[in-house]
Structure formats: C-alpha cells, structure tokens
Amino acid sequence: MRRLRGRLIQPYVKEHHLRKTDLVMPLFIDEVADHPTPIPTMPGQFRYPLTRIGPAVRKLQEIGIGAVLLFGIPVHKDPEASEAYNPDGVIQQAIKRIKSEAPGVLVITDVCACEYTDHGHCGIIGEGPCGMDLQNDPSLELVAKIAVSHAQAGADLVAPSCMLDGMVGAIRTALDVEGFQETGIISYSTKFASALYGPFREAADSGYSFGDRSTYQIHPANAREALRESEDDALEGADILMVKPGGFYLDIVAAVRELGFPVAVFQVSGEYAMIRAAAMNGWINEKAVVMESLICLKRAGADLIITYYAADAAGWLDEEQ
C-alpha cells in the first residue's frame, strides 16, 4: 500500500476533498453594538453591528465563502421572545442588508428563542412534572412565527435549533401556508445536550437562568435516540439534517448520512475555542488540526460544515492550490 502513499500520487487517490462550498460561516449580529465587538471566549470572532454585517459578509464572499448562518442579539428580551419574530428585528434587518449588500450569498437563519427570551430557554416556559420547564406544543407556534418572519425578510433557508418535537412539521406547514414553498429547512435534527456550547452562550447572550436543556436535547450516550430524531424530522419535511456538535459525534454523522438526505454538521463554539486556545499557547499546529478536523467531518458524511474556521479554511485551501 505504500506505493499509493507517494507524494505525487497522493492527491489523485485521496478519498475525500474539502471545498469552500462545503463551508458555512456562523455570524453574530448585535442590535445594540456600534462596532465589531470581540467575543472573549472565542478569540478571533466578533459580534457585528447591523451597519457592518453587509460588508462583513461581502468580505467572506470575496474569499469564496458563500453561505452564512445568522444569530441575533436583540435589544429587548421577554418571556415570549417577541423580538424573534418582529419584522424589524435584528435578524430580519440583517437578512435584508445582506441580500442588498452581498447578493448571491446563501442566507441561513437560526430559528430559536433562546437569544430572545429573558429566561434563556428555547421556547415558552411553564410548569412541568419537575418544576418550570420548556413547554413543547405551545412553543411550536412561536418557532413557526419566527421562521415565517425570516422567510419574509428574504432568508433562503431556516434552521430550527430548539429540538422541539414536531418543529419541522409546524414550520413547513406555516411556510407553505404563507407562500414560502421554496424556503428550505435545515433542521438541527440531532442536537446533543453538550458541554461544548459554553462559549456560544456568551457570544449570543443565550445562557439559561434556571435548569438546563437536557429535557429537550439528546443525552450524549444515546445513539439510537439521536438517529430517531433525524428520522422524524426527515418525515416532517426537513430538506437537510444536522448533527451538532460535530467532532465528538462522527458515528452519528455517519448514521444520519445513511438516511439519504444532505447532512450538515456544526463544529461548535467549544470545538473552536479548544483548538484556538491550544494554538494560541503553541501546543498544536492550528492550520493542520483545523484542516484535519474538517476533512474528518467530510469523511464521516457531512455535506455542509458550519464552522467558525470557515474564513481561515478558505485561505488555507487557497494555499493548497
């Protein structure tokens, strides 16, 4: 087998390839910011003001990153997440600016309530068997309203991340009723209750004020449940299935791939922060580790990779040309 490991022949027999069109850049838009604000837990990442989101996306487009996933930080929060579906909300405004200032970019929006509720949970809260908890069915109407508002603003794909039972069906019905049959759904169909989301919660100001999300996200030990979640969302009308986080769950990525749908993987904030911190301390070769992590996600079955390293990877791919 060593004959096929020669330096000249290696590129011709490599089984998987990473391309810029595999990469999606997550971006945070802060309604109260007046300049890009560094995120301490994610060195190199920023919260962007609305006035700077168009140029930021255009810069990504110029280096070959043509897809973005948007998260918003609103001025006002309340128990019902009313700003999440405000036609003039932070994400709705951001979509319009991107479509105007960076035409041709694929705009994906996170559909959830956690950044918009004052309690930090992903929907409507009420009394449950063990105290206050997320109420699944009352929250479906909320996420459907959020998704429709994003479609009305011009989003190409909506990405529900709240892990509600029935969320994809509710959103698909609402979009179709409102005339947005062409708006696709990337479902966070297999989302684990992971410890790797910590840096994101600071970045998006989405930490919860009580409890945790283990009653509606998947326990890391449960592979069969994880696959059932993606199967359910596929039946409800999801166009693309997502596994989140990525690197710790390559077995799940491979299993979801077998369902026959395009698969997205989110290389989450904790994964980014660990690699970046180790690189900043000189313990690892950042470029080599990042590119290895991304090709392994591709090998496992990912079609799309949502990663905070998208812009860096684009530059590194150019170096390989």
**Could you please report the per-residue DSSP string of 242-283?**
EEES-GGGHHHHHHHHTTSS-EEEEE-HHHHHHHHHHHHTTS
Retrieve residue 54's tokens. Answer: 């168009």
Is 244 noted as a catalytic residue in this protein?
yes
State the catalytic residue, choosing from 59, 244, 287, 298.
Answer: 244
Amino acid code (one letter) for 292: E
Dist. CA 284–CA 150, nearest whole Å: 40
Dist. CA 45–CA 110, nearest whole Å: 18
* Strand extents, DSSP E, 139-239: 157-160, 184-191
The number of angstroms, rounded, from the C-alpha of 144 to the middle of its chain's C-alpha atoms is: 18
Helix (H), strand (E) at residue 176: helix 167-177
**Could you please report the per-residue DSSP string of 43-100?**
TT-EEEPHHHHHHHHHHHHHTT--EEEEEEE-S---TT-GGGG-TTSHHHHHHHHHHH
Q: Are 313 and 63 in contact (CB under 8 A)?
A: no
For 263-274, b/e burial (b = at least 16 CB within 10 A) is bbbbbbbbbbbe
Residue 305 bridge partners (DSSP):
23, 265
Is 96 noted as a catalytic residue in this protein?
no
Dist. CA 232–CA 96, nearest whole Å: 32
State the catalytic residue, choosing from 77, 99, 191, 298.
Answer: 191
Retrieve residue 240's tokens. Answer: 């693309």
Residue 110 bridge partners (DSSP):
159
Beta strands 46-48 and 37-38: pairing type? antiparallel
Point out the residues that are catalytic.
191, 244
